[in-house]
Every structure is written in C-alpha cells, then in structure tokens.
Amino acid sequence: MPSQQTETLNKMIEDISQKLNMLNVGVIKAEDFSDEKIEDLTYLHQMVMKKESFSPSEMQAIAQELASLRK
C-alpha cells in the first residue's frame, strides 16, 4: 500500500475515532484494511463526518462496520 494511501487511511480512521470518542483507536490501523475496502471506508468516513452527534446504537453500528471492513 503506498504511503500516501496509508496516510489518508490513518487520517480517516483517526477522524472517525475522534468523532465517536472511541477509546481503542490504536488497535485499528490502515494496514488492517484491504484495497477493496477503501471505498467503503471512505463512504463511512464521509457519513460520520457529516453528522453532529450519534446515538449509542449508531456508535455501536459504526464500530461494527469498521470491524467488518478489516482484513
């Protein structure tokens, strides 16, 4: 994976984690995502960044989606 792409993925993951106040951010890394899942991660990032707040069930669903996108 090119370093530019890795930086972009790390930034998206960091943004999502901060927006959701996730505690275990360090366990999710750009290397955990295959090239086929980048489009899905980008969509998830855009959706998360558009919303102001999340219900607990939405936060759980987003965390589950992140987990499902990992290799």
Q: CA 19, 61, 65, 63 torsion: positive or negative?
A: positive
Give the predicted TM-score (pTM) of the model: 0.82
The rounded Cα 58 to chain-centroid distance in angstroms is 14
Per residue in 24-71, pLDDT (tens digit) is: 666 678 888 888 888 999 999 999 999 999 999 999 899 899 889 887
Domain ranges of the chain: 3-69
**Distance spanning both ends of the chain, measured CA to CA:** 14
Cα dihedral 43/44/48/50 (nearest 10)? 10
